[in-house]
Homo-oligomer: A and B are copies of this chain.
Amino acid sequence: MLTDRQLLILQVIIDDFIRYGQPVGSRTLAKKEKITFSSATIRNEMADLEELGYIEKTHISSGRVPSEKGYRYYVDHLLSPQRLTQEDMNKIKSIFAERIYELEKLVQKSAQILSDLTSYTSIVLGPAVKENKLKRLQIIPLNKETAVAIIVTDTGHVENRVITIPAAVNASDLEKMVNILNERLVGVPLIDLKDKIYKEVANVLRMHIYSYDSMLKTIGETLDIPQEEKMFFAGKTNMLSQPEFSDIQKIRSLMAMIEQEKDFYRLLRKHRQKGIQITIGRENQLSGMENCSLITATYSIGEEPLGTIAVLGPTRMEYSRVITILNRVASDLSTVLTDWYQND
Protein backbone atom coordinates (compact mmCIF):
# COMPACT_ATOMS: atom_id res chain seq x y z
CA MET A 1 0.00 0.00 0.00
CA LEU A 2 1.14 3.49 -0.78
CA THR A 3 1.80 6.02 1.93
CA ASP A 4 0.03 9.37 1.88
CA ARG A 5 3.22 11.07 0.85
CA GLN A 6 3.69 8.70 -2.06
CA LEU A 7 0.15 9.36 -3.18
CA LEU A 8 0.72 13.06 -3.01
CA ILE A 9 3.87 12.77 -5.07
CA LEU A 10 2.22 10.52 -7.60
CA GLN A 11 -0.65 12.91 -7.98
CA VAL A 12 1.55 15.94 -8.38
CA ILE A 13 3.74 14.16 -10.91
CA ILE A 14 0.76 13.19 -13.02
CA ASP A 15 -0.91 16.57 -12.74
CA ASP A 16 2.28 18.26 -13.79
CA PHE A 17 2.94 15.87 -16.61
CA ILE A 18 -0.59 16.21 -17.94
CA ARG A 19 -0.16 19.94 -17.87
CA TYR A 20 3.26 20.32 -19.43
CA GLY A 21 3.96 17.02 -21.15
CA GLN A 22 7.53 16.94 -19.86
CA PRO A 23 9.11 14.32 -17.60
CA VAL A 24 8.96 15.59 -14.02
CA GLY A 25 12.13 15.76 -11.92
CA SER A 26 12.62 15.95 -8.20
CA ARG A 27 13.68 19.57 -8.26
CA THR A 28 10.58 20.70 -10.14
CA LEU A 29 8.48 18.78 -7.72
CA ALA A 30 10.19 20.23 -4.67
CA LYS A 31 9.24 23.72 -5.81
CA LYS A 32 5.52 22.98 -5.80
CA GLU A 33 3.45 24.52 -3.04
CA LYS A 34 1.98 21.28 -1.87
CA ILE A 35 5.37 19.69 -1.46
CA THR A 36 7.07 20.53 1.83
CA PHE A 37 10.03 18.21 1.75
CA SER A 38 13.29 18.27 -0.16
CA SER A 39 14.19 16.98 -3.54
CA ALA A 40 16.31 14.22 -2.03
CA THR A 41 13.36 12.84 -0.16
CA ILE A 42 11.34 13.01 -3.30
CA ARG A 43 13.98 11.10 -5.16
CA ASN A 44 13.77 8.32 -2.61
CA GLU A 45 10.00 8.19 -2.85
CA MET A 46 10.11 8.29 -6.59
CA ALA A 47 12.50 5.36 -6.62
CA ASP A 48 9.92 3.42 -4.62
CA LEU A 49 7.05 4.50 -6.87
CA GLU A 50 9.04 3.41 -9.85
CA GLU A 51 9.77 0.04 -8.29
CA LEU A 52 6.04 -0.38 -7.72
CA GLY A 53 5.39 0.40 -11.37
CA TYR A 54 3.48 3.66 -11.10
CA ILE A 55 6.02 5.83 -12.85
CA GLU A 56 8.79 5.36 -15.38
CA LYS A 57 11.88 7.04 -16.67
CA THR A 58 12.27 7.80 -20.34
CA HIS A 59 16.02 7.26 -19.97
CA ILE A 60 18.34 6.56 -17.08
CA SER A 61 18.74 10.08 -15.78
CA SER A 62 15.49 11.62 -16.85
CA GLY A 63 12.57 12.83 -14.81
CA ARG A 64 9.62 10.52 -14.29
CA VAL A 65 6.58 9.94 -16.43
CA PRO A 66 3.38 8.17 -15.35
CA SER A 67 3.06 4.54 -16.44
CA GLU A 68 -0.25 3.08 -17.50
CA LYS A 69 -0.55 1.62 -14.04
CA GLY A 70 0.08 5.11 -12.69
CA TYR A 71 -2.67 6.65 -14.79
CA ARG A 72 -4.97 3.84 -13.78
CA TYR A 73 -4.36 4.53 -10.11
CA TYR A 74 -4.73 8.23 -10.77
CA VAL A 75 -8.12 8.00 -12.42
CA ASP A 76 -9.34 5.49 -9.86
CA HIS A 77 -8.23 7.31 -6.72
CA LEU A 78 -6.59 10.64 -7.26
CA LEU A 79 -8.80 12.63 -9.59
CA SER A 80 -9.57 16.04 -8.23
CA PRO A 81 -13.05 16.92 -9.43
CA GLN A 82 -13.22 20.04 -11.51
CA ARG A 83 -15.86 22.61 -12.09
CA LEU A 84 -16.75 23.79 -15.55
CA THR A 85 -16.08 27.39 -16.37
CA GLN A 86 -19.15 29.49 -16.97
CA GLU A 87 -18.07 29.85 -20.57
CA ASP A 88 -18.00 26.12 -21.16
CA MET A 89 -21.36 25.72 -19.46
CA ASN A 90 -22.82 28.32 -21.75
CA LYS A 91 -21.48 26.66 -24.83
CA ILE A 92 -23.05 23.39 -23.87
CA LYS A 93 -26.29 24.98 -22.94
CA SER A 94 -26.52 26.87 -26.18
CA ILE A 95 -26.42 23.65 -28.14
CA PHE A 96 -29.23 22.08 -26.25
CA ALA A 97 -31.30 25.20 -26.14
CA GLU A 98 -31.95 25.07 -29.86
CA ARG A 99 -34.98 23.06 -30.64
CA ILE A 100 -33.47 20.40 -32.82
CA TYR A 101 -35.94 17.73 -33.59
CA GLU A 102 -33.75 15.30 -35.35
CA LEU A 103 -32.00 12.82 -33.17
CA GLU A 104 -29.08 12.37 -35.52
CA LYS A 105 -28.42 16.05 -35.81
CA LEU A 106 -28.56 16.50 -32.09
CA VAL A 107 -26.15 13.67 -31.57
CA GLN A 108 -23.81 15.05 -34.17
CA LYS A 109 -23.88 18.44 -32.54
CA SER A 110 -23.02 16.84 -29.24
CA ALA A 111 -19.98 15.23 -30.79
CA GLN A 112 -18.98 18.58 -32.20
CA ILE A 113 -19.23 20.40 -28.94
CA LEU A 114 -17.30 17.68 -27.14
CA SER A 115 -14.37 17.90 -29.51
CA ASP A 116 -14.48 21.68 -29.47
CA LEU A 117 -14.36 21.91 -25.71
CA THR A 118 -11.72 19.27 -25.18
CA SER A 119 -9.58 19.66 -28.34
CA TYR A 120 -9.52 15.90 -28.54
CA THR A 121 -11.40 13.61 -30.85
CA SER A 122 -14.93 12.73 -29.92
CA ILE A 123 -17.13 9.89 -30.98
CA VAL A 124 -20.80 9.41 -30.41
CA LEU A 125 -22.52 6.11 -30.86
CA GLY A 126 -26.02 6.88 -32.09
CA PRO A 127 -29.06 5.11 -30.84
CA ALA A 128 -29.65 1.70 -32.35
CA VAL A 129 -32.17 2.17 -35.10
CA LYS A 130 -33.23 -1.41 -34.77
CA GLU A 131 -34.85 -0.66 -31.44
CA ASN A 132 -37.00 2.15 -32.80
CA LYS A 133 -40.57 1.27 -33.47
CA LEU A 134 -42.19 1.38 -36.85
CA LYS A 135 -44.37 4.38 -37.45
CA ARG A 136 -45.04 3.97 -41.11
CA LEU A 137 -43.90 1.94 -44.06
CA GLN A 138 -44.20 3.41 -47.51
CA ILE A 139 -43.27 2.16 -50.94
CA ILE A 140 -43.12 4.72 -53.70
CA PRO A 141 -42.66 3.43 -57.24
CA LEU A 142 -40.07 5.21 -59.34
CA ASN A 143 -40.55 3.36 -62.58
CA LYS A 144 -41.56 -0.11 -63.70
CA GLU A 145 -38.74 -1.94 -62.02
CA THR A 146 -37.73 0.09 -59.04
CA ALA A 147 -39.29 1.77 -56.07
CA VAL A 148 -38.17 3.53 -52.93
CA ALA A 149 -39.07 1.85 -49.69
CA ILE A 150 -39.27 4.21 -46.76
CA ILE A 151 -39.48 3.33 -43.13
CA VAL A 152 -40.33 6.00 -40.60
CA THR A 153 -39.81 5.27 -36.92
CA ASP A 154 -41.44 6.73 -33.85
CA THR A 155 -38.31 8.79 -33.24
CA GLY A 156 -38.66 10.52 -36.58
CA HIS A 157 -35.81 8.58 -38.08
CA VAL A 158 -36.19 7.75 -41.76
CA GLU A 159 -34.57 4.78 -43.45
CA ASN A 160 -34.86 4.45 -47.15
CA ARG A 161 -33.71 2.09 -49.83
CA VAL A 162 -34.24 1.58 -53.50
CA ILE A 163 -35.67 -1.84 -54.25
CA THR A 164 -36.47 -3.71 -57.41
CA ILE A 165 -40.02 -4.77 -57.92
CA PRO A 166 -40.52 -8.24 -59.33
CA ALA A 167 -42.24 -8.12 -62.70
CA ALA A 168 -45.05 -10.28 -61.39
CA VAL A 169 -46.12 -7.69 -58.86
CA ASN A 170 -48.55 -5.03 -59.96
CA ALA A 171 -49.18 -1.65 -58.46
CA SER A 172 -52.45 -2.39 -56.73
CA ASP A 173 -51.04 -5.48 -55.07
CA LEU A 174 -48.17 -3.41 -53.84
CA GLU A 175 -50.49 -0.87 -52.37
CA LYS A 176 -52.64 -3.48 -50.76
CA MET A 177 -49.67 -5.09 -49.21
CA VAL A 178 -48.27 -1.88 -47.84
CA ASN A 179 -51.64 -1.23 -46.23
CA ILE A 180 -51.72 -4.64 -44.63
CA LEU A 181 -48.20 -4.25 -43.35
CA ASN A 182 -48.93 -0.88 -41.85
CA GLU A 183 -52.05 -2.13 -40.15
CA ARG A 184 -50.26 -5.00 -38.53
CA LEU A 185 -46.79 -3.71 -37.91
CA VAL A 186 -46.99 -0.15 -36.65
CA GLY A 187 -45.46 0.00 -33.19
CA VAL A 188 -43.23 -3.04 -33.67
CA PRO A 189 -39.49 -2.52 -33.09
CA LEU A 190 -37.64 -2.65 -36.38
CA ILE A 191 -35.54 -5.56 -35.27
CA ASP A 192 -38.60 -7.72 -34.74
CA LEU A 193 -40.23 -6.80 -38.03
CA LYS A 194 -38.94 -9.67 -40.09
CA ASP A 195 -39.83 -12.21 -37.49
CA LYS A 196 -43.29 -10.83 -37.04
CA ILE A 197 -43.93 -10.80 -40.75
CA TYR A 198 -43.12 -14.43 -41.18
CA LYS A 199 -44.98 -15.54 -38.10
CA GLU A 200 -48.08 -13.40 -38.11
CA VAL A 201 -48.49 -11.37 -41.24
CA ALA A 202 -47.56 -13.97 -43.83
CA ASN A 203 -50.92 -15.69 -43.52
CA VAL A 204 -52.88 -12.56 -44.11
CA LEU A 205 -50.73 -11.66 -47.05
CA ARG A 206 -51.18 -15.04 -48.64
CA MET A 207 -54.90 -14.59 -48.55
CA HIS A 208 -54.93 -11.22 -50.22
CA ILE A 209 -51.97 -11.05 -52.49
CA TYR A 210 -51.47 -12.78 -55.77
CA SER A 211 -47.71 -13.13 -56.22
CA TYR A 212 -47.12 -13.86 -52.61
CA ASP A 213 -43.65 -15.36 -52.93
CA SER A 214 -41.79 -12.72 -54.83
CA MET A 215 -43.53 -10.16 -52.70
CA LEU A 216 -42.23 -11.61 -49.54
CA LYS A 217 -38.75 -11.55 -50.95
CA THR A 218 -39.06 -7.89 -51.82
CA ILE A 219 -40.25 -7.17 -48.33
CA GLY A 220 -37.29 -9.04 -46.98
CA GLU A 221 -34.92 -6.76 -48.85
CA THR A 222 -36.74 -3.74 -47.61
CA LEU A 223 -36.50 -4.65 -44.00
CA ASP A 224 -32.81 -5.29 -43.94
CA ILE A 225 -32.18 -2.58 -41.44
CA PRO A 226 -28.60 -1.81 -40.51
CA GLN A 227 -27.95 -3.62 -37.27
CA GLU A 228 -25.21 -1.43 -35.97
CA GLU A 229 -25.44 1.96 -34.39
CA LYS A 230 -23.95 4.74 -36.43
CA MET A 231 -20.75 6.34 -35.22
CA PHE A 232 -20.37 10.08 -35.45
CA PHE A 233 -16.88 11.48 -35.25
CA ALA A 234 -15.86 15.03 -34.59
CA GLY A 235 -12.44 16.62 -34.40
CA LYS A 236 -10.70 13.70 -36.05
CA THR A 237 -7.71 15.89 -36.77
CA ASN A 238 -7.50 17.47 -33.35
CA MET A 239 -5.02 14.78 -32.44
CA LEU A 240 -2.60 16.23 -34.97
CA SER A 241 -2.03 19.14 -32.61
CA GLN A 242 -1.19 16.97 -29.63
CA PRO A 243 2.54 17.07 -29.02
CA GLU A 244 2.72 13.31 -28.44
CA PHE A 245 1.70 12.86 -32.03
CA SER A 246 4.40 15.00 -33.53
CA ASP A 247 5.77 11.70 -34.75
CA ILE A 248 4.32 10.94 -38.14
CA GLN A 249 4.38 7.21 -37.57
CA LYS A 250 2.16 7.45 -34.54
CA ILE A 251 -0.29 9.63 -36.40
CA ARG A 252 -0.48 7.18 -39.21
CA SER A 253 -1.23 4.24 -37.01
CA LEU A 254 -3.76 6.25 -35.05
CA MET A 255 -5.54 7.45 -38.15
CA ALA A 256 -5.47 4.01 -39.68
CA MET A 257 -7.11 2.75 -36.52
CA ILE A 258 -9.84 5.34 -36.60
CA GLU A 259 -10.51 4.82 -40.30
CA GLN A 260 -10.83 1.11 -39.69
CA GLU A 261 -14.18 1.75 -38.09
CA LYS A 262 -15.07 -1.84 -37.35
CA ASP A 263 -12.47 -2.45 -34.69
CA PHE A 264 -13.12 0.86 -33.13
CA TYR A 265 -16.82 0.19 -33.04
CA ARG A 266 -16.18 -3.05 -31.23
CA LEU A 267 -14.05 -1.22 -28.71
CA LEU A 268 -16.81 1.29 -28.06
CA ARG A 269 -19.32 -1.47 -27.63
CA LYS A 270 -17.34 -2.70 -24.66
CA HIS A 271 -18.12 0.60 -22.94
CA ARG A 272 -21.81 0.19 -22.52
CA GLN A 273 -22.14 0.31 -18.78
CA LYS A 274 -23.67 3.36 -17.29
CA GLY A 275 -21.47 6.08 -15.91
CA ILE A 276 -17.98 7.11 -16.85
CA GLN A 277 -15.71 4.42 -18.20
CA ILE A 278 -12.03 4.90 -18.83
CA THR A 279 -9.56 2.73 -20.64
CA ILE A 280 -5.94 3.71 -20.79
CA GLY A 281 -3.38 2.93 -23.48
CA ARG A 282 -2.96 -0.76 -24.05
CA GLU A 283 -5.97 -1.54 -21.92
CA ASN A 284 -7.82 -0.80 -25.14
CA GLN A 285 -6.19 -3.79 -26.77
CA LEU A 286 -6.15 -2.14 -30.12
CA SER A 287 -3.00 -1.34 -31.99
CA GLY A 288 -2.77 2.37 -32.60
CA MET A 289 -4.27 3.06 -29.19
CA GLU A 290 -1.02 2.56 -27.25
CA ASN A 291 -0.74 6.25 -26.59
CA CYS A 292 -4.42 6.98 -26.26
CA SER A 293 -7.08 6.85 -23.63
CA LEU A 294 -10.77 6.53 -24.18
CA ILE A 295 -13.36 8.00 -21.84
CA THR A 296 -17.00 7.22 -22.33
CA ALA A 297 -20.37 8.02 -20.84
CA THR A 298 -23.85 6.92 -21.80
CA TYR A 299 -26.95 8.89 -22.56
CA SER A 300 -30.47 7.71 -22.20
CA ILE A 301 -34.16 8.42 -22.45
CA GLY A 302 -35.55 8.15 -18.98
CA GLU A 303 -33.96 5.03 -17.63
CA GLU A 304 -33.51 3.45 -21.04
CA PRO A 305 -29.85 3.65 -22.16
CA LEU A 306 -29.63 4.84 -25.75
CA GLY A 307 -26.05 5.30 -26.76
CA THR A 308 -22.52 6.22 -25.85
CA ILE A 309 -20.58 9.45 -26.10
CA ALA A 310 -16.84 9.27 -25.97
CA VAL A 311 -13.66 11.29 -26.02
CA LEU A 312 -10.45 9.91 -27.43
CA GLY A 313 -7.27 11.65 -26.36
CA PRO A 314 -3.64 10.93 -25.62
CA THR A 315 -2.96 8.96 -22.43
CA ARG A 316 -1.70 12.29 -21.17
CA MET A 317 -5.15 13.79 -21.42
CA GLU A 318 -6.93 16.05 -18.98
CA TYR A 319 -8.96 13.29 -17.41
CA SER A 320 -10.70 15.33 -14.86
CA ARG A 321 -11.78 18.07 -17.23
CA VAL A 322 -12.93 15.63 -19.86
CA ILE A 323 -14.93 13.64 -17.34
CA THR A 324 -16.69 16.73 -16.14
CA ILE A 325 -17.56 17.81 -19.66
CA LEU A 326 -18.62 14.35 -20.69
CA ASN A 327 -20.91 14.02 -17.69
CA ARG A 328 -22.46 17.33 -18.41
CA VAL A 329 -23.08 16.73 -22.09
CA ALA A 330 -24.42 13.25 -21.42
CA SER A 331 -26.84 14.48 -18.84
CA ASP A 332 -28.00 17.46 -20.87
CA LEU A 333 -28.46 15.28 -23.90
CA SER A 334 -30.43 12.78 -21.87
CA THR A 335 -32.61 15.49 -20.43
CA VAL A 336 -33.47 16.90 -23.82
CA LEU A 337 -34.23 13.51 -25.24
CA THR A 338 -36.28 12.39 -22.29
CA ASP A 339 -38.21 15.59 -22.35
CA TRP A 340 -38.83 15.30 -26.02
CA TYR A 341 -39.90 11.70 -26.19
CA GLN A 342 -41.97 11.54 -23.09
CA ASN A 343 -44.19 14.34 -24.35
CA ASP A 344 -45.56 12.08 -27.03
Q: Which residues of A does B touch, CB under 8 Å?
A: 99, 101-102, 135-136, 138, 140, 142-143, 145-146, 148, 150, 152, 154, 156, 158, 160-164, 236-237, 240-241, 246, 248, 251-252, 255-256, 259, 343-344
Which residues of B lie under 8 Å from residue A164 when comparing CB positions? Answer: 99, 101
Q: What distance in Å separates the Cβ of A230 from its nearest Cβ neighbour in chain B?
A: 15
The answer to whether A146 touches B150, judged by C-beta atoms less than 8 angstroms apart, is no
Q: What distance in Å separates the Cβ of A150 from its nearest Cβ neighbour in chain B?
A: 6
Distance A156 CA – B139 CA, assembled complex (angstroms): 11
In the complex, 16 of the A-B residue pairs with CB atoms within 8 angstroms, ordered by the A residue number, are: A101-B146, A101-B164, A102-B162, A135-B140, A135-B142, A135-B148, A140-B152, A142-B156, A145-B343, A146-B156, A158-B158, A158-B160, A240-B248, A240-B251, A240-B252, A248-B248
Which residues of B lie under 8 Å from residue A237 when comparing CB positions? Answer: 252, 255-256, 259
- Contact among B102, B142, B236, B259 for A154, CB-based, below 8 A: B142
Which residues of B lie under 8 Å from residue A251 when comparing CB positions? Answer: 240, 248, 251
Distance A136 CA – B160 CA, assembled complex (angstroms): 14
Which residues of B lie under 8 Å from residue A152 when comparing CB positions? Answer: 140, 148, 150
Which residues of B lie under 8 Å from residue A344 when comparing CB positions? Answer: 142-143
The answer to whether A161 touches B240, judged by C-beta atoms less than 8 angstroms apart, is no
Distance A69 CA – B158 CA, assembled complex (angstroms): 51
Distance A246 CA – B248 CA, assembled complex (angstroms): 7
Q: What distance in Å separates the Cβ of A312 from its nearest Cβ neighbour in chain B?
A: 15
Which residues of B lie under 8 Å from residue A248 when comparing CB positions? Answer: 240, 246, 248, 251
Distance A145 CA – B251 CA, assembled complex (angstroms): 47
Q: What distance in Å separates the Cβ of A281 from its nearest Cβ neighbour in chain B?
A: 22
Distance A343 CA – B143 CA, assembled complex (angstroms): 9
Distance A344 CA – B144 CA, assembled complex (angstroms): 7
Distance A274 CA – B74 CA, assembled complex (angstroms): 60
Q: What distance in Å separates the Cβ of A15 from its nearest Cβ neighbour in chain B?
A: 27
Distance A116 CA – B252 CA, assembled complex (angstroms): 17
Distance A152 CA – B164 CA, assembled complex (angstroms): 16
Residue of B nearest to A256 (CB): B237
The answer to whether A158 touches B154, judged by C-beta atoms less than 8 angstroms apart, is no
Residue of B nearest to A101 (CB): B162
Q: 6 closest A-B pairs (Cβ-Cβ)? A: A101-B162, A158-B160, A237-B255, A156-B162, A143-B344, A136-B140
